Chain A
Amino acid sequence: MLKTQERADPPARQLDHRRRRSLRAKKEQRAAYLFLLPWFVGLAVITLGPMIASLYLSFTDFNVTQAPRWIGIQNYVQMFTTDPRYWKSVEVTLTYVLVSVPLHLIFALGFALLLNQGLRGLAFYRSLYYLPSLMGTSVAIAILWRQVFGASGLLNDFLGIFGIHGHSWIGDTGSAIYTLIALNIWTFGSAMVIFLAGLRQIPADLYEAALVDGAVWRQRFFHITIPLLTPIILFNGILNIISAFQAFTSSYVVSNGTGGPADSTLFYTLYLYQQGFTQFHMGYASAMAWVLLVVVGVCTGLIFATSSRWVFYYGNK
């Protein structure tokens, strides 16, 4: 109907119509750029500009008061070959990421599964489990953690019931990092809420069909639940890895800015802060930041690249 009408239009009117359409498109484009103006400025001034600047600074010796002095790759060489504290911070951060992220996800998924069994009081449990996630990155909780894992803290009170005499978990180089890992795991509630939302998307008839086929709980879990949750596992995993690499407040507050005892809680970002903002080795800090960017980029890149093998999108394929 429309087509015949258009064809019936005299050529002049058609041209007019087209011109009006392109005028509208132009107006739309101009409007779009206006709406995006703050974002453009932010991208240039707050994000991309500083990124380029920090790449440049990473090849310089720069202490804020004097102009940056070009030293080539010396910061990187020093970092990788002659700075034991740098490698310590890498070790601490990798331990933190590799231990806390999987446990965080396992707890989140475990409790999401428990909550997804049609129990009464779901909203109540869900909210309260979520509460620590809102507070977990605050200084108040880090201060609390100093006490919980201190020599006369909550954990030792609890262990005392069983006749175990604890020591200061925060003062011990072997256990200090695990107190911070415990803090990260404590905030599993937000990942749990996301898992719960995902679990509710799984069509019930899949389970019914599996039940008819005589699948036991374990089979239903590994052949239905886990595959259908893989997109959410991917999402939660990436989110947690990125934030774990950048953890700062807890180690700063718990160790009072030192990363101690004996650098056992010296997170990468804390060392970067010390280098850049207490010793004013800004070039060195920039080089550290770029290595962090590359590592986080490679990690997420690898996960995305392998995801086509293990992430399953229901209904898409």
Chain B
Amino acid sequence: MLAHIGLILGLIIMLYPLLWLLSASLRPANEIFTAKGLWPGTFRWSNYTDGWYIFSDVTFGTFFANSFLIAIGAIVGNLLSCSMAAYAFARLQFRFKGVLFALMLGTIMLPYHVLVVPQYIAFLHLGWINTFYPLIVPKFLATDSFFIFLMVQFIRGIPREMDEASEIDGAGFFQIYRRIMLPLMLPALATTAIFTFIFTWNDFFTPLLYLTGTEHWTVPLGLRSFLDIEAKSSYGPMFAMSVASLGPIFGFFLASQRLLVRGIATTGLK
């Protein structure tokens, strides 16, 4: 009983700021900084429409569309390239396998900032600044090694008889990958897809570097620029768009909590 009380108390402290955010998104500006408690005195639903249309040239609809487009590109890229690499590392024999595998694990720990200046310059020379390419193309090149590692671990748990049997039936390596591995890897692929979505959706640093024009902004960039609008009346709309930006994450959370929890328990992804 005592444990339950402690856990519920902890939960209230943890989740109160989120509930407060939801409530603030529905309040008029003067209420946000004075009102106590969670229930808005007056509901101001127009915060959401005001926030949506706050920029004169584009709406938050564009930012959401951009964010989704980049996330989908990143998901497809990660699923394809990481599963291919993982199949090779987990099942096939080749020269330098040990060294290459160690190299792959090593890149998991590499701070992104060591790569960022040369990458920026390279993308600048390619004319890719203010396009989505710098955010999507690397995903097709299996640069998120954590997911390769996750999939390697998963494939190692699949009985070898599965692929050996189909090899005897005359299947080539590509067919084994396509017909046997991918279907059996579905849980690992789903975990990768969900986490890729959440990382990409939350990512602020890379879009900040590469997406300079408002029409290419993602949701986090749009949100951040609220802070440059000094007017006090923009607080309600800012919180409204904050809530909206957390919506897809919350949606994924509700739809796939079990998978998310299992994914994190086995691999330590954030």
* A interface, CB within 8 angstroms of B: 25, 27-29, 31-33, 35-39, 41-43, 45-47, 49-51, 53-54, 57, 64, 111, 114-115, 117, 119, 121, 123, 125-135, 137-141, 143-144, 146-148, 152, 154, 157, 186-187, 190, 193-194, 196-197, 235-236, 238-239, 242-243, 245-246, 248-249, 252-253, 256, 269, 272-273, 276-277, 282, 285-286, 288-290, 292-293, 296-297, 300
Q: Verify if B20 is at the interface (C-beta below 8 Å from A).
A: yes
Name which of B21, B112, B250, B270 has the most chain A CB atoms within 10 A of its CB: B270
Known A-B contacts A43-B103, A114-B7, A242-B109; the reply to A35 vs B92 at CB < 8 A is: yes
Q: Are B113 and A236 in contact (CB under 8 A)?
A: no
Known A-B contacts A38-B81, A41-B141, A252-B204; the reply to A140 vs B245 at CB < 8 A is: yes
Known A-B contacts A126-B261, A140-B246, A194-B264; the reply to A249 vs B205 at CB < 8 A is: yes
Q: Are A133 and B117 in contact (CB under 8 A)?
A: no
Residues of chain B within 8 A of A57, CB atoms compared: 117-118
Q: Verify if B211 is at the interface (C-beta below 8 Å from A).
A: no
> Chain B: interface secondary structure?
helix
Q: Are B204 and A249 in contact (CB under 8 A)?
A: yes
Give the shortest distance, in Å, between A143 (CB) and chain B (any CB): 5
Q: Are B264 and A193 in contact (CB under 8 A)?
A: yes
Q: Verify if B242 is at the interface (C-beta below 8 Å from A).
A: yes
Q: Are B204 and A139 in contact (CB under 8 A)?
A: yes
Q: Are B138 and A46 in contact (CB under 8 A)?
A: yes
Give the shortest distance, in Å, between A241 (CB) and chain B (any CB): 10
**Chain B window 82-108, contacts with chain A (Cβ cutoff 8 Å), 1 for yes, 0 for no:** 001101110011110100100110010
19 A/B residue pairs, CB under 8 Å, sorted by A:
A28-B92, A36-B89, A38-B141, A39-B142, A41-B141, A45-B122, A47-B107, A47-B110, A50-B118, A54-B118, A119-B4, A138-B204, A139-B224, A154-B20, A193-B261, A238-B109, A239-B270, A253-B204, A282-B117
User: How far does the alpha carbon of A242 sit from the alpha carbon of B241 in the complex, in Å?
Assistant: 31
User: How far does the alpha carbon of A134 sit from the alpha carbon of B227 in the complex, in Å?
Assistant: 23
Choose one: B88, B116, B143; the contact of A36 (CB below 8 Å). B88
User: How far does the alpha carbon of A295 sit from the alpha carbon of B265 in the complex, in Å?
Assistant: 28
Which of B9-17, B53-61, B185-193 forms contacts with chain A?
A: B9-17
Closest A residue to B104 by beta carbon equals: A39
**Chain B window 178-203, contacts with chain A (Cβ cutoff 8 Å), 1 for yes, 0 for no:** 00000000000000000000100110
Residues of chain B within 8 A of A51, CB atoms compared: 110, 114-115, 118
